[in-house]
Structures are given as C-alpha cells and as structure tokens.
Structure 1
C-alpha cells in the first residue's frame, strides 16, 4: 500500500523524511494491506473538555474497528509524531487539552524541534497520513476561505494541503461561518476533486444543503473506493474531499443551529467584527444562541 518503510513491530520508523512512531496495530495493518483510517487530534485537545474528549475519541476509534478498519489517531507527543495512539497516549493527550499546541503543517517542525506536544489539524494529519501510506482520513468540518477572505487572505491551510497531498478526506462539510462558495472555488484552483455522498450539493456541516452544487456525486462506498483508487493510480498528487451530509435524524437541530449562525453573522456585520476576531465571536455567539446545542452537535459531527 505504501512505499514508505513501515516496521512490522511498530515503534520509531525513519521514513527518510524524519522519525515517526507508528503504533503496532497500524503498522501491521499497513503491511497486510488492511484498511486504516487516519484521525486528527485537534478536536480532542481543543474541541471538547475532559473527559468528554477522551470518551468521544474512544467511541470513534471503536466505531472504526467495528466496521473492520484500524484507527490511526495522529498527534505529536514529546516531539515525536505518533501515527496511532495507545490507550495511555490517548488519555494523556485528552488530559493535556489546550496545553498541547494546535498543529498545522507550518507548525510541525517547530513542535518536533522543541520536543513539544501537538494536536494535529487537517493539514498536519493529512501530511502524516500520506507519509506512512494511509490513504483515507475522516474528520468533521474542514477549514476554508473566511468571509471577507478576498481582502484578508485568511484561507485555511487545509485547502492547500488538499491540493498537494494525495489523501482522501471524508468530512461533514464546511461550516457556514466560512465562505463556502469561495472555498469550493479555491479547491477547484488547487485541483482538488470535490464530491458529495448521495447528494448533488456539498454539505454545510450543520445542514445537508449549502446551495453549492458539486460535479461529482457518489452513491455507494464502492463508487468512493473507485474514485480514491483512480486518484492514487493516476498519481495526480492532489487529495479528494468527500462531503457526507448530516444524518436525517439530526437535521432538525442542524437547521436550528444554522439559523443561529445566520443571526450571528448579521450581528458580526452590524458590529463590524472582522479579521481574527470574527470566528471566535461567531462560535461563541452561536453556542450562546443555541444554549450549548451547537457544541454538542459539533462534537457529534466532528466524528
């Protein structure tokens, strides 16, 4: 599955581009050609309080195992990139919380060099997944072009990573606090295949509809697999983004949260809240308007 050297016993591996530690079960699965799914760790350390974050992380790994794959949660601990965490390492990361640095691609070298602890975002997780030959990564929402991004150039590194790293990202979509149309346009510029599962519209995280059509609709897991296989065999060098809409049983709460988002966006505009202050303001206001429902839904959709 991968041309990167993988130790059959796990442990530290010199990939030719730096040392990483691959968990034994992840290493064995890669060597045997079994399915491995990469998971980010920012949601564990920065997305939820302890012990909810640990319980959620364990549940997600359990679901992946129940469906016949091996989970590989990615993080940096004491300067060592870890692909797959032991129960003890997962507990430690959850306990560290925001003491671990939120780590995108740009931060990897610094966290490793200073022997720090890093919770990986989409871009960093994609990088490490590709490094060891994991082709699929599951996450909640991805970053995007921020509103007024045409003036601020505030664009998530998730998007450029998708354009340069051949990993397929399965996502609940793009949160509507971002500029979804410009995000999809930027992904097109980056050469990223954007698909939606059982729908013609790319999902907006909390709601199944964003109003933005996609050119690629996938109706079955087999169609997803064929797309991923073609991308890998062609050596395009870019990733794939597959949006999976919110389940129908959660659509009502999603619509409520989306309504709160639209109200918060108007308040931000009325109060001239822009730049780096915009996202924290919007997230806090939406959580307040929904009496915490957005945080609970966010936890569900992130995994």
Structure 2
C-alpha cells in the first residue's frame, strides 16, 4: 500500500504564510463537526477565519479529508465537515493513523490540532475550551488526551479554560504534573469556559501578548522544551454565565449522560448539546463569543512571535 498521498498538506494561503513569515493561527475542526448544528457550525468557521484575516494573520483550520491531514481548509472542505456533522470521525492523537489509513474524514481535537500544527511549523492555536479530567475520573479514569499533548507539542493554545463540564481542580493538577505552564491572560483566576471565574487561583498571569510570546521563546529557543503553553482567556463579561448558575445545569446534563451510559469521546458532544438545550441557547451564544475572543488574542500572540528582536 502506497502511503505517498498521506503526507500533511498545507493549502496555498498557509504555505505562502510559512514561506514569508506571516503570522498564522491554527484552529480545530471538532467545533465544526461536533460542536454545533449545521449551518451554525459552518458560518462560525467562516466568521472566525475572516476575523483572523481582518486582524492581519492567516487562518489554518486543521482536519483530515479523505485520509489526508489538511493544515488550512478550503470553504468547500469546511462546508463538507459541517454538513456531515457527527458522521465525521472525532480524531484524537491515537486515532490519526487509523483515520488516515482508511482514508476517512476526521475532525481534529485539541490534541490532534496541536500535533499537526507543530508538525507544519505553526505555534499558535485558538480554540474554545480544552479537554481535561472528567467528573468521576477517580473511578472511570476518563482523562482527555489533550492534557498529555501539552507536554509533547510546542504550541501556545489560547482557550477560555477547560470545558466547564470537567473536573477543573483535577485538570489543573494533571497539567501541573505534566509540567505545563497555565497562564492567565489579564486574570489571576482560572476561567471556567462559560464563566469568567471558577474560584481556582492561578500561579501565573500576564497582561500582554508580548509576555506570552517571550515565555514561548524562552521555553522553545533557550530551554529547548517541547512543551506547549496553555493561555486561559476569560469569556467577555457581557457573555459570561455565573459559575453557580451554569454548574447546576452541568450537573443535570452529567447525570443524564451517566444514566444513558454515555462515556469517552461521545460524552463531550452529548453534554454540550444538552447544556444548550437546558440554557435555551444561551450557552451556544456564549461559546461563539468566547471562541472569537480567543482568536483575537491568538492573532496578537502570533504577531508578536513574528517580530524580530
């Protein structure tokens, strides 16, 4: 079996940006296939890519199309992922060889996006929230591969914290064990995705994108570490849902998932959809707002990284 067609491909826009040293921001594709219904998912993907361009950077949405890892998608490819939705294989690091071998379509999780972005030479990635340690993990051992990837792929990931459906204290403990820097952007409190605060203090915080760029240069160029940096960026105040209010909704969604035996990679899409239902769409609007907010910060960081000192 020839594997020549399975090389990582960058589209023309991303290839040119890599050659000329333009700032690039990677984005995941799970939000397209598994995060929102069609056509909201596709419209949001287009909007985020246009936002990156309007701010002076190049977007690189990452997915697998017919077995080929694509760093930078065409509009038709985004439309295809959006329409196929849950039929698209949710692809984490472990799934990548299988999806490629069978020439399947795959939407990339945070872990896979980090891996492919770093392989292509892209070091800034904007997403909504990362995976983490699930509630009840002391009995299920359900821990997202996203967390381990931070110790393997040198990428700055901008998010609004770990998804609020997770066990946030255990997630922070796991990241500490892996030696991952968790840095609050203009906050000293861990954001909780839909909420600006979780009540969990952060040991590291910065006020500017330049500081984040400097941290990455020290880590990557001087210390020669292959670890990434997790930047947690609170959701804008006007879209924030109080932690106490959303937590009761999450508990109800988690209880229903347990009763239905929904676990593993299927749990997050189920929980997020249930939360949208229980909040009457408010959580979906919050999700869109926080991703856009993260993209703006990621572009600033990518621009700082391109500056010569």
TM-score between both structures, scaled by the size of structure 2: 0.85
Residue of 116, 126, 148 corresponding to 1:160: 148
Mark the runs of 5 or more structure 2 residues left unpaired by the alignment. Answer: 293-309
Post-superposition shift, 1:93?
Answer: 2.0
Post-superposition shift, 1:264?
Answer: 4.2
Residue of 197, 210, 228 corresponding to 2:216: 228
- Going from structure 1 to structure 2, the CA distance change for 1:111 and 1:269 (only over 3 Å counts) comes to closer
Residue of 236, 242, 247 corresponding to 1:247: 236
For the residue of structure 2 that corresponds to 1:29, the secondary structure is helix
Residue equivalent to 1:118: 106
Matches within 5 A, 1:207-218: 207-218=195-206
Give distance in 1, aligned partners of 2:270 and 2:206.
Answer: 35
Q: What whole-Å deviation, never above 9, does each CA across 1:49-85 have from its counterpart, x for those lacking one?
A: 2221111101000111111110000010011100001
Pick which of 118-127 and 174-183 moved more.
Answer: 174-183
Residue of 124, 127, 133 corresponding to 1:136: 124
Residue of 26, 45, 48 corresponding to 1:60: 48
Residue of 96, 109, 118 corresponding to 1:108: 96
Give distance in 2, aligned partners of 1:114 and 1:271.
Answer: 30
Matches within 5 A, 1:73-92: 73-92=61-80
Aligned Cα root-mean-square deviation (Å): 2.3
Post-superposition shift, 1:248?
Answer: 1.6
Residue of 244, 250, 262 corresponding to 2:248: 262
Tell me: higher relative CO, structure 1 or 2? Use CA pairs within 8 A at least 6 residues apart: 2
Is residue 286 from structure 1 mapped to residue 272 from structure 2 by the alignment? no
For the residue of structure 1 that corresponds to 2:161, the secondary structure is coil
Q: What whole-Å deviation, never above 9, does each CA across 1:171-214 have from its counterpart, x for those lacking one?
A: 01123321101101100101111101001011101111111111
Pick which of 187-196 and 285-294 moved more.
Answer: 285-294
Q: What whole-Å deviation, never above 9, does each CA across 1:218-277 have from its counterpart, x for those lacking one?
A: 1011111111221211221111100000112212xx12x751432441685699749745
Post-superposition shift, 1:284?
Answer: 4.8
Residue equivalent to 2:81: 93
Residue equivalent to 1:45: 33
Aligned length: 285
Shift >4 Å, 4+ stretches? 266-275, 277-282
Give distance in 1, aligned partners of 2:249 and 2:95.
Answer: 34
Give distance in 1, aligned partners of 2:276 and 2:200.
Answer: 25
Q: Is the 8 A contact 1:268 1:274 kept in 2?
A: no
TM-score between both structures, scaled by the size of structure 1: 0.87
Give distance in 2, aligned partners of 1:38 and 1:110.
Answer: 23
